[in-house]
Amino acid sequence: MKDVLSRIGIGAATVDTVLPTDTVRAGESVQVEVRVEGGSTAQEIDAVYFALETEYKSDEGYKDAIIDQWQLTEPFTIEADEERRFETTIDIPRETPVTTRSTAVEIETGLDISMAVDPGDEDYIEVEPTPRTQAVFDALDSLGFSLHASACEATAGSLFITSATFVQEFEFRPQCGEFDGQVDEVEIVPVFGDDRLTVYVEVDRSGGLLSEMTDTDERHTKLTVEAPDPDPGAVEPRLAESIRDLS
């Protein structure tokens, strides 16, 4: 009877991932410990796996997205009440969305058990931007902009050159400085390449109701950031020039 119950999740093995911190930086790695505890009966575990997940908006609504996934172990048996611990390193891809109030990222840990409900564990993490993306954020801050909103959206039919199914868009609005009163907002989309970051920039200028109705107030451009750890002071004049040209 215990074997039958464990197959539907009653008295089954459990898994828990312990992270040293819930804040990570995209493009870096984090050490984790995985604890597997046996239930009321022995079970064959085909694998322990991880999935890094978020969600994005498409024409059909919101969809779940697996950013990356890994397998930690080969098959093993967990005995009743046994505890096993595994240590591993999880790489956080550069493309992982930056977490904001509207964008969440989680690490899902699961036990793959044949012919049974797979036990799992979910850990939400805070993801900070890569140094290249942070330099762009800092440059916008120096120009008087503040982050207003962000969202992950499907790339199908978009102007972005990427193989990813979605991109993250950030919307900044001027609070002071040269562009206050000149543009309504600046939207950026970071797209990662092997040795550079391409930043797609859209400027929504303060052109009045007529221009907004005809969509003539929106302009597009892009710039690249190649230095691995760029100085925001070097990014700022290029970004300012792009905004001036489009506003």
pLDDT at 179: 94
Please tell me the predicted confidence (pLDDT) of residue 129. 97
CA-based nearest residue to 51, from 24, 71, 76, 25? 71
Predicted structure pTM score: 0.86
Would you state the structure tokens that stand for residue 132, as one six-digit string?
């290249």
d(CA 31, CA 59): 37
Q: Which domains does the chain have, with CATH numbers?
A: 2-128 (2.60.40.640), 131-246 (no CATH)
Concatenate the DSSP letters of all residues of 98-166 into one string: PPBTTB-EEEEEEEE-TTSPPPEEEEEEEEEPPHHHHHHHHHHHHTTEEEEEEEEEE-TT-S---SSSE
- Token pair in block for residue 131: 């140094």
Burial of 34 (0-12, 13-18, 19+ CB in 10 A): buried
**SS3 assignment, position 193:** coil
Helix (H, G, I), strand (E, B) or coil at 168: strand
DSSP type of residue 95: T
For residue 101, how many C-alpha atoms fall within 13 Å in the half-sphere facing its CB?
A: 3
Closest CA to 142 of 190, 183, 177, 180: 177
- 247 residues of the chain, pLDDT tens digit each: 444 333 434 457 899 999 999 999 999 999 999 999 998 888 899 999 999 999 999 988 999 999 999 999 999 999 999 999 999 999 999 999 999 989 999 999 999 888 556 778 999 999 999 999 999 999 999 999 999 999 999 986 666 667 788 999 999 999 999 999 999 999 999 999 989 999 999 998 665 444 444 454 467 899 999 999 999 999 999 999 999 998 8
Instruction: Assess contact for 187 and 169: CB atoms under 8 A.
Output: yes
Within 8 A by CB and 6+ apart from 106, the residues are: 52, 53, 54, 122, 123, 124, 125
- Which residue do the tokens 């990427």 mark? 162
